[in-house]
Every structure is written in structure tokens, then in C-alpha cells.
Amino acid sequence: MANIKSAKKRILVNRAKALKNQMLKSALKTTIKKFNAAVDAGDKAAASELYKLAVKKVDQAVAHGILHKNNAAHKKSEFTVKFNKMA
């Protein structure tokens, strides 16, 4: 355990940031799973809405530093290909 006051504060701040990152990452994964489920079910309307939401969540993850921008581009491209194959 840290003895210095600033070190104790860093521990608390890091825990809070880790929790927020974990929440954002979990929400991203859930959205992606819902999109994939809608595509597999063939529900074009739901997939359309979830496609927009998934792309938004990926962009937010990049803005928060959770995903690398190239990883995000790869994911968005994958979503687009899946969505377009439905038609």
C-alpha cells in the first residue's frame, strides 16, 4: 500500500478510470453482439439501427482511448460488409 498522499490518490483515480473503461468496453461488446444477432436473424430494420449504434460506440471507444483507430476502422468495415450482404 502506498504511503504518500499523491500515490494514494493515483490509486483511487486509476481504479475509477479502469471501471469507466471497463463499462465502456462492455457496452461496446454488447452493442456489437446485438448487431451480429440482428444480422444473423435477417432483421433488416433492427440491423440498420444497430449498425448506426455500433459505429457510434466504436467511434466513442476510439475517442476515449479504449480502441486504436485502425482497430476501429477494421471493425466498422466488418460491420458494413455484414450489413451490405444482408440486402
- What is the mean predicted confidence (pLDDT) over 26-31? 97
Q: How many residues are recorded in the chain?
A: 87
Which pLDDT band, with edges at 50, 70 and 90, does 87 fall under? low
Show the cell assigned to 71.
482497430
Q: What is the largest CA-CA distance in the chain?
A: 61
**What percent of the chain shows pLDDT beyond 70?**
99
Look at the domain 10-86 and name its fold: Methane Monooxygenase Hydroxylase; Chain G, domain 1 (1.20.58)
pTM assigned to the model: 0.85
